[in-house]
Amino acid sequence: MDSQTIVLIIGVLVIIALVIIYSQLKKLNDSKNSDETTKLLSQLVSDMRGSMDNTTDSMVRQTKAINERLDRAASVIAGVSKSVGEMTELGRSMRDLQEFLRSPKLRGQIGEAVLKDLLGQALPKEHFHMQYPFKGGEIVDAALKLEQGIIPIDAKFPMENFRKMSKAKEEKERGIYRKAFISDVKKHIDAISTKYIRPQEGTLDFALMYIPAEPVYYEILTNNPEIDDYAYQKRVRPVSPNT
């Protein structure tokens, strides 16, 4: 209730009061009792003033209470709007990040960074080397330096077709991406075996293929044992963060 409404109500009450006073005065004049008229008039004015004061105070309190409720409601709505905006922005950021991570090169860099962190937690710095170079110009992502020799570790695992296979809704489509995934991994195993297993340069007779995600690692072991068999033949050992 705004101030204009309060003023209007008070005006109506004043008019009603004047009508009542006029009516009482007329009756008193007819009775020609001036003392009684003065006394009654004073009483009426006093009663009306008290009633008007009480009414005004009550309206002011009600208006203040309503305004406070409206302020609280506006504050709540503003807070909800801000939260919705933040959630929308977060969702947009997550989509942007997913698009960003689709780059195979970037995923390889992230996998290498995670591998470096894992090796740093498990081994002294002198026992591993990141971006280890060979004489022919090849560079492996990491190399373990043991007394028996060097163990090359590749961290650039092909994930694209596995991601598509996981998102496929139909079995036929999933089968197509599964075949492509198996082919990608076998080609990657061939590359690791050819480029990084170099006993003449101090490596042991095998290399490690680092798989950065546990679900992918277990997918290979449980649902695609042919990949594990093929890797064994090529002297490449699949490993994951927990193995």
pLDDT digits (tens, 9 = 90+) for 9-59: 555 555 665 556 556 555 555 554 455 555 555 555 555 555 555 555 665
- The number of residues making up the chain comes to 243
Q: What is the pTM of this model?
A: 0.56
Q: How far apart are CA 205 and CA 149, in angstroms?
A: 9
**Cβ contact 167:224 at 8 Å:** no
Q: How far apart are CA 142 and CA 155, in angstroms?
A: 8
For 188, residues 6+ apart whose C-beta sits below 8 A from its C-beta are: 154, 156, 157, 158, 209
Nearest CA among 20, 59, 13, 26 for reference residue 43: 20
Residues lower than pLDDT 70 in the chain: 1-67, 69-111
Position 57 scores a pLDDT of 60
Where along the chain do its domains lie? Answer: 3-99, 103-239
For 74, residues 6+ apart whose C-beta sits below 8 A from its C-beta are: none
pLDDT digits (tens, 9 = 90+) for 163-179: 898 888 899 999 999 99
